[in-house]
Chain A
Amino acid sequence: MDVYTIGLAGGMLLIILGIYGLTVKGNMIRLILSVEILTNGAIVVLVTFGATPLGVINPVIISLAILAVGVGGCIAAVGLAIVIQAFRHYKTLNVRELKRLRW
């Protein structure tokens, strides 16, 4: 197997895991983790495409990947801050019990 196959398969696996977590899990912290896994899967795909057959790595792709890692951290920070506030209001982390908003 070449590096593309491994990288793409791994990235797509992470993306599928993330989407699975988003749709199935009910815990708010697990939802934030699923978003992070989804983002990381996209980063893995990005870095895989950035690795050219000659071994030269495009610096733009690496900087974009590093930016995306930082952004993922920001999203986790903001998300966990909101989770703390939600816990103060509802005394639960189960997102299924946050049903005061209608569709």
Chain B
Amino acid sequence: MFTLVVDVLIFFAIAVAVVGALTRYRANLNTAFGLASTIGFGLALYFWWNLYLEVQRAGGVLVLKALPVLASSSLRIDMLGMFFSLLFLLVGFTSSFHSMRYMEHDSGHAQYYALLLSMVAGMVGVVYAGDFFTLFFFWELMAITSYVLVAFRKHLWEPVEAGFKYLVMSAAGSALILLAIALLYGITGTTDLAGIASAIKAGTINAELKTWLYFAIAVIVTGFGIKASIVPLHTWLPDAHPAAPTPISAMLSGVVIKTGVYAIIRMLGLVIYPAALDWNMVAVVVAFFAALTMTVGNVMALLQEDVKRLLACSSIAHIGYIMLGVSIGLLGGTIGLYGYTAGLLHTMNHAIMKGLAFLAVGAFIHAAGTRKLSELVGIGHRMRAMAVIFVIAILALSGVPPMNGFVSELMLVLATLNAGMGIMVAVLLANILIGFGYYLRLLYIMVWQSPRSELETIRGTSWLMLIPCGILASLCILIGVYPEPFLDFASQAAQAVANLPAYTAIA
């Protein structure tokens, strides 16, 4: 119905939920649910590969309709969608794997895994959607499940409070997205993404409609920017991401905020881009907010005493780096293509390394039972294998050469230089240096210092946690030393953004 990738995730979500409800008082199937969810993600990754080959055969864009009539829910899958959906499935797979051990003391496993699977199904649906009906449906599927997952440990005060804050802000963002859909429909008379692009390209946009289009762009960036946590809309993120269970934090920080970035790239870079607007001005405005986002994120991260909160704040900073790539992409031409490639490669790297950092920290928190940096002093000495993985993640985040973060940060600096944004190069480099400060502090406290006496009883790490972290850590190093295939994939996705004729070719 919605490609096998989404269908298999929804199938497993329903199956886990139904079996969980039926066996609630009869049996303890917690491990089975975790295993089922992980298998579901594995199957989805396999179907993703099949779909990738199919999209390649179809020439880069694949159009699927739910019903064979003109106005119906449709999927329009291109390389940009394939790129993002791979990240979602990869981080979803590792989070689900990690949850099997992390959530062992919690109750409600069936609900947890059903919500996790539904959230990833929603995210994949968002990036495959070909019209606003499908996009809005999957967007809300993702959003509502993520509210519940943030407030999952409802017996504690922090998840409930953070969940409420997240719900109110994000639901207001959803309402703005609906307003943006209404405005774009009013301007062009269709909800189909390709149809909107064609209608805008046909040149029926007069001066009055242009004003409305600028207003629509503002509403789009605000609505999706709340999910992507662009400063000044970021206030929910440092509360909501640490409050969730750690595998969910890995999902939220690693990939859920990227759906907002995806939607901004899709709307501004492809759907509205053919309009004869002043795109240089829009690019400068987006670059301004990107600079604000990265600076505020980094400065906030410097001040944190809670390790998950620190990582969440650094996510804001990385969203700033990615948005800088997007703003360069809006300039168009080869400069823009390079900017999109750099931004998308950083999206991939950040998903992998931030997911890895959260999962590694999750292993520490699971063992030590605290999130405060002052109580996690020297925990790396007690969990040597996980400490190695944690060091890889933090070095990658800070952009040290043999890791993947370096490649994309270098590309971002080069793209900014290409675009001739001299000030932005200085802001970007200054931010990367600030980042160094708090990442090295994290390493010094958690890995370098000698352990506290309270942590003496901790010995080693579970294999169930080491395997998913190992997968992501090896990817971190692989992308760092051999970036060509990943760079090629990101460049294909960037070309899909720039290639409007191919996107609109099939009605």
Residues of A within 8 A of B (CB): 15, 18-19, 22, 28, 31-32, 35, 38-39, 41-43, 45-46, 48-50, 58-61, 63-64, 67-68, 71, 74-75, 78-79, 82-83, 85-86, 89-90, 95, 98, 100-101, 103
Contacts and interface: CB of A to CB of B under 8 A. Distances in A.
A60 B133 contact: yes
Contact of A61 (B161, B176, B191): B191
Given A39-B178, A45-B182, A71 B161 contact: no
The 4 closest A-B pairs by CB, nearest first: A49-B186, A46-B182, A42-B178, A42-B179
11 contacts: A38-B171, A39-B171, A43-B178, A68-B136, A71-B140, A75-B147, A78-B148, A78-B167, A85-B151, A86-B164, A95-B164
Given A64-B136, A100-B158, A100-B161, A50 B185 contact: yes
Interface in B121-140: 131-133, 136-137, 140
Interface residues of B, number: 38
A35 B140 CA distance: 14
B253 interface: no
A79 B182 contact: no
Contacts of B151: 82, 85
B172 interface: yes
B305 to A, nearest CB: 10
A63 B71 CA distance: 11
Contact of A32 (B148, B162, B168, B191): B168
Contact of B178 (A28, A68, A100): A68
B239 to A, nearest CB: 5
A35 B164 contact: no
B214 interface: no
Interface string B150-189: 0100100110111111011001101110110111011000
Contacts of B147: 75, 78-79, 82
Contacts of A68: 136, 178
Contacts of A43: 178
B144 interface: yes
B175 A67 contact: no
B30 to A, nearest CB: 23
Contacts of A48: 182
Given A67-B137, A74-B144, A78-B147, A18 B175 contact: yes
Contacts of B144: 71, 74-75, 78
Residue from A63, A67, A68, A98 with most neighbouring chain B CB atoms (10 Å)? A68
A98 B164 contact: yes
Contacts of B157: 89-90, 100
Nearest to A67: B137
Nearest to B162: A101
A82 B160 contact: yes
Given A32-B168, A49-B186, A82-B167, A75 B160 contact: no
A42 B182 contact: yes
Contact of B164 (A28, A61, A67): A28
A75 B174 contact: yes
B107 interface: no
Given A78-B148, A79-B171, A89-B157, 6 more contacts: A46-B178, A61-B185, A67-B133, A75-B147, A82-B160, A100-B161
B47 to A, nearest CB: 26
Contacts of A83: 164
A101 B239 contact: yes
Contacts of A89: 157, 160-161
Interface string B68-111: 00010000000000000000000000000000000000000000
B182 A75 contact: no
B266 to A, nearest CB: 18
